[in-house]
A and B are shown apart, each in its own frame.
Chain A
Amino acid sequence: MSEYHVGHTGQIDPLGSRTVTVEKEEVALFKLSSGEIAAVENRCPHKGGKLSEGMVCGSSVHCPLHDWKIDLRSGRAAAPDEGSVKVYQAQVDKDGRIILVKNEVCPAVHP
């Protein structure tokens, strides 16, 4: 398991997103309305759209290319679409620093 400092919560706007490349993979970091930071593989399972550019609604993001709705906690696409993205654990320390744990917490599930 590898852990990385990937910035500070203040660097992400509420309902906004930033990207970071870790171990050659681009990861999208989102700040949900609760302040929770979610981290997923920045690649929509449909056509590879950058999820970081999408609209955050609750705990989901809508892909900017064709509006697939991806749950940021489970990584799953909302029905009737099928597919999933890798989800990573993003911890926030007491100083607001974000620590990305680069091992999948929720391995991609395939129906």
Chain B
Amino acid sequence: MNTSNSQKLVMIGNGMAGIRCIEHLLKLAPDAYEITVFGAEPHPNYNRIQLSTVLADGGSGLQDIVLNDWSWYAEHGITLHVGHTVTSIDTQARTVASDQGLTVSYDVLLIATGSRAFMLPVSGADKEGVIGFRDIRDCETMLEASRTYRRAAVIGGGLLGLEAARGLLNLGMDVTVIHNSSALMNRQLDPPASHMLRHELEMQGMKFLTNMQTREITGADRVTGISFKDGSFLETDLVVMAVGITPNAELAARSGIAVKRGVLVGDDLSTSVPGVYALGECAEHNGITYGLVAPLYEQGAVLAKHLAGVHSEGYKGSVTSTKLKVSGVDVFSAGDYIGLEGTRSLSFKDEVDAVYKKLVLRGDLLEGVVLFGDINDGPMLFNLMKTGESVAGREKQLLLGFAPGATSAASPLERLSAMPGDEIVCGCNGVSKDDIVDAIASKGCTSLSAVKSCTKASASCGGCKPLVEDLLTLTAGDSVVKAKEGICGCTPLDRNSILEAINAMGLTSVKETMNVLEWSQPEGCSKCRPALNYYLGMLKPGEYRDQKESRFTNERYHANIQKDGTYSVVPRIYGGVTSPAELKHIADVAERFQVPLVKFTGGQRLDLLGVRKEDLPRMWEELGMASGSAYGKALRTVKTCVGDTFCRFGTQDAMGMGIKLEKAFERISTPAKFKMAVSGCPRNCAEATIKDFGVVAIDGGWELHAGGNGGVKVRATDLLTVVRTEEEVMEWSGAYLQYYRENANWNERTAHWVDRIGIDAIREALSDRDERLALVDRLQTALSGLEDPWHEIVDNAELRKNFEPLAAAGRNSQ
């Protein structure tokens, strides 16, 4: 990258707009510049827009919002100085100097210093506990405050303020939003939409003080409250200022570069000084400073072209749209949201489903959009605004999604074919309709999985899968391969065909199966290999030798891998019933191995997290307990309530029943993880009705429930049957477990399986006692001979070696 004729490019600022520009530049002219970046924050470039989601998950996702990690800079030969604030620019000598005493010369300088929260000029705004909501440090302060304090106030009822408030609610704080107008988001929403927004947010627990002017922030060192101009007072422990942003333009101004509100730039993003450019929130173009990411990315693209010597139209300003990122509240706004003089508007308000839509027209052109509750059409309408296409004659259809008076709404395919090409279909991965159509038309993708692997569309949350399938139908028509999708991309065969083939041909190993059934990838993939390993083990218990190399990491090392490569250890504690001695013992071992985190799991077990892989076998040895299978597609835990042992409502011995079930079925492999619970009375404190198999005691018997799930999509169980005795509970649960083992697809949880085949079909299959006993018998065969995996590894040096790193010895170094 450092070719002798490359120019020196220095960028002040390490944020989204600037780095996006550098990314473009590296693509257009990889060798043209030797790049140095100064960043005041001690982080690589991260996604500032996602700060509110970091708060949503309690701060655990800070790493996930990094856009360019440290290695990205190194790989592209970019010199990065973080923790350096640039304090002066010498535009004559063409150098910049940082507060850390570093001076660097440049041929081209990019100012991308961004903006900061505008702090209200009121007394007390400098107290501890008064912050903005702009960066990771603000997030950390909020997280920290939520651990000690309860009350938070957000000043500003705009986009940023509401996102901050939602984040603070997620942290368990009591949140009041203070706004100087009567309407929330009054810069983006008209009164009806604003009113509906307030109602929704109040339902979520947010409190509001509107039409309030802050007079003073009170407290000794730390904030204790806010007093208002009307004489009222609010007690609070934390104040987040979200009233607006101020471009960071002081450095440029000090250096003799023309500045008004922001650094003044022309259409090529150049400033008043030759060789110096500005972009992002610090820049002012045609009197406008932008604070949303889309225009800043547009500026980055234009500047990159300019710097690479590639022709562009220049930056012409941006039309912006806004989307509120608060879960459960969908708001979209663009352009003229009020309906200024000379415009006409159409609106639709539905207070039953909380939907509001408004379109603002000037002549035949769409000039503004407000959507609340249903924002699916947002990107399409915004696109119409940007292109300036006439909407004459179809205004009502655009508003309602169908033409009033027509016999029916447009079919999904019709709507899809009318969708503009640059509209995003897969929001998770930013894949547009054009990207998908291109993959189908010119890259030969004729199935959903091909489109997925080619474009990533529908590869994350899967929400757009129906749209992608419709695009396939629309674009490829008859050539769409809707043939039975195989269990993975390596084979067109589904589960049943594979099982039949294994039985019919007597196949005995994963390798042989892939070979005989002509897998396209001779060694399979991470989907089919574990599946085949499970099916073979299920079909031939005792005979089939489990292939650990076809199991996932967790099942291979009998612990759960964590994001940093350490593992977690969950010892088996039957029924969640332990003793002081056992707890002391676990505590001793945890201390000896300096376990960084000990946590109770949702299934009433102890999780020891952060264990180094090489410590696992020794730790298991010292624990001397059985594996809790917390990592496996196997019986996880049987959660229990206290039952009639102590509880005054208990009708049966729930703990005893749970322990019995856990001892009977531990270690068995299942298509997917299998969780159980036993509640001692219908109050159901063990939450048995969201488990794969739940047992609820009633007076004189037991209800048996199946197919529940408390995870991604909550599904309550279906009642399978009611029995009288403990023996019957064991018989039915064993039969159900084996029936699931024999009939479900690998990796299919019982909730999906029960949904797919129906509880009636399962009840029918288990209704005959002889059939139940035969199933239990087959389950017993599979269970016999299973040993505790931890003990097996502890006692076997050959297995144990895989936990140890190898040692390197130097050899003829030169």
Instruction: From known contacts A15-B549, A16-B549, A47-B563, infer whether A67 and B526 are also in contact, taking CB-CB under 8 Å.
Output: yes
Query: CB within 8 A of B808: which of A21, A50, A65, A80?
Result: A21
B504 contacts the other chain (Cβ, under 8 Å)?
no
* Residues in chain A near residue B808, CB distance under 8 A: 4-6, 20-22, 100
B801 contacts the other chain (Cβ, under 8 Å)?
yes
Query: Within the assembled complex, what's the spacing in Å between the Cα atoms of A46 and B610?
Result: 21
Contact A18–B806 (Cβ < 8 Å): yes
Give the size of the chain B interface in residues (CB under 8 angstroms).
Answer: 43
Query: Within the assembled complex, what's the spacing in Å between the Cα atoms of A58 and B529?
Result: 12
Query: CB within 8 A of A2: which of B63, B530, B813?
Result: B813
B521 contacts the other chain (Cβ, under 8 Å)?
yes
Contact B454–A80 (Cβ < 8 Å): yes
Instruction: From known contacts A1-B814, A4-B811, A79-B454, infer whether A21 and B522 are also in contact, taking CB-CB under 8 Å.
Output: no
> Shortest Cβ distance from A94 into chain B, in angstroms?
15
* Residues in chain A near residue B497, CB distance under 8 A: none
Query: CB within 8 A of B563: which of A4, A65, A79, A80?
Result: A65
> Shortest Cβ distance from A91 into chain B, in angstroms?
11
Q: Please give me the residue from chain B that is nearest to A14 by CB atom.
A: B549
Fill in one digit per residue for B330-373: 1 if any A CB lies within 8 Å of its CB, else 0. Answer: 00000000000000000000000000000000000000000000
Fill in one digit per residue for B794-814: 1 if any A CB lies within 8 Å of its CB, else 0. Answer: 000000011011111111111
Query: Within the assembled complex, what's the spacing in Å between the Cα atoms of A47 and B455?
Result: 20
Contact A57–B453 (Cβ < 8 Å): no
Fill in one digit per residue for A16-36: 1 if any B CB lies within 8 Å of its CB, else 0. Answer: 101111100000010001000
A105 contacts the other chain (Cβ, under 8 Å)?
no
Q: Please give me the residue from chain B that is nearest to A101 by CB atom.
A: B811
Contact A57–B523 (Cβ < 8 Å): yes
Stretch from B133-141, B550-558, B597-605 that touches the partner: B550-558
Q: Please give me the residue from chain A that is nearest to B525 by CB atom.
A: A57
Fill in one digit per residue for B769-813: 1 if any A CB lies within 8 Å of its CB, else 0. Answer: 000000000000000000000000000000001101111111111
Instruction: From known contacts A7-B806, A21-B808, A108-B75, infer whether A57 and B524 are also in contact, taking CB-CB under 8 Å.
Output: yes
> Shortest Cβ distance from A31 into chain B, in angstroms?
10
Query: CB within 8 A of B806: which of A1, A6, A47, A56?
Result: A6
B565 contacts the other chain (Cβ, under 8 Å)?
yes
B561 contacts the other chain (Cβ, under 8 Å)?
yes
Query: Within the assembled complex, what's the spacing in Å between the Cα atoms of A35 and B809?
Result: 22
Query: Within the assembled complex, what's the spacing in Å between the Cα atoms of A42 and B459?
Result: 25
Contact B806–A11 (Cβ < 8 Å): yes
Fill in one digit per residue for A60-90: 1 if any B CB lies within 8 Å of its CB, else 0. Answer: 0010110101000000000110000000000
Interface residues of B (CB under 8 A from A): 63, 71, 75-76, 453-456, 459, 521-526, 529-530, 549-554, 556-557, 561, 563-565, 613, 801-802, 804-814
8 sampled A-B residue pairs with Cβ under 8 A: A1-B814, A18-B805, A20-B808, A21-B808, A55-B526, A57-B526, A69-B526, A79-B454
